[in-house]
Amino acid sequence: MNAELIYFTDLKSPFAYLVMDDLLALEERYGVTFRWVHFTLHIPEFLGAVETRSENEWRKVKYAYMDARRLANRKGLTVLGPKKIFDSRPAGIGLTYAEEQGLLHAYARRTFEKFFHRELDPGVVEEVKAVLAEVGADTAGFDDWYTGEGAERHERERQLAIDMGVFGVPTFAIDGELFWGGDRLWMVEERLQQLAA
């Protein structure tokens, strides 16, 4: 299959966490690999700033986490709502560093687990390095990666997402066609079936 497959994620998104195993199973079924791109969500742009959120925006936030907990319960996972708005850019740069060492999935899974157990601030570089070390990454070069190539790649990939029209995660792209949300994974599978035929 020659299609360009991209998976846009954010390591602070409960819905990206909850779709991870389903995506990996889909990849295995079809013998494909999605390129993971960390699209750091700027929550105030997406759901309003905490100080200025409308009543309706607060309802959206509460409902989204109620849904996330329901889905997590079905999967035997824990999703504790965050106590503040987090900047996941450092964790996203950590994702590309882990990918360079063949540890993308292990790092993503552990980052999600720790974040949704309230054991990780994805915006604190030293905590990101600790997760990298925990999954077996050589962290000796991470500081340089974080301020150099990793930072540049993060910004390039975020701009790619914006240019493609990505506004939230999880989003799947197949040859530029976007599918937003884990509940659209069946459509992604349908498209993969069509491409494989």
- pLDDT for the residue numbered 68: 94
Q: Which CATH class is domain 5-196?
A: alpha beta
- What phi and psi values does residue 120 have, to the nearest 5 degrees? -150, 135
Query: Could you tell me where the DSSP H helices lie in the chain?
Result: 14-30, 43-47, 55-75, 89-100, 104-116, 125-134, 142-147, 149-164, 185-196
Residue 80: pLDDT band (50, 70, 90) is very high
Residue 13 bears catalytic tag: yes
* pTM recorded for the entire structure: 0.92
**Which pair of structure tokens corresponds to residue 181?**
């949300």
Residues 6+ positions from 141 with CB-CB distance below 8 Å = 97
Contacts of residue 179, Cβ cutoff 8 Å, sequence gap at least 6: 171, 172, 173, 185, 187, 188, 191
pLDDT at 2 over 80: yes
Q: How far apart are CA 172 and CA 12, in angstroms?
A: 17
Per domain, the residue ranges of the chain are: 5-196
Please, what is the average pLDDT of the chain? 94
pLDDT exceeding 70 applies to what percent of the chain?
94
Looking at residue 56, its pLDDT comes to: 78
Q: What is the DSSP letter of 184?
A: G
CA atoms 27, 22, 39, 139: torsion sign:
negative
Q: What pLDDT, on a 0 to 100 scale, did the predictor assign at position 50?
A: 61
| Tens digits of residue pLDDT in 123-136 | 999 999 999 999 99
Q: Nearest CA to 174 among 183, 158, 185?
A: 185
- Residue 42 pLDDT exceeds 70: yes
The catalytic residue among 7, 9, 13, 26 is 13
pLDDT digits (tens, 9 = 90+) for 167-188: 999 999 999 999 999 999 999 9
135-144 pLDDT per residue, tens: 999 999 999 9
Residue 183 is predicted with a pLDDT of 95
Is 4:175 a contact under the CB 8 Å cutoff?
yes
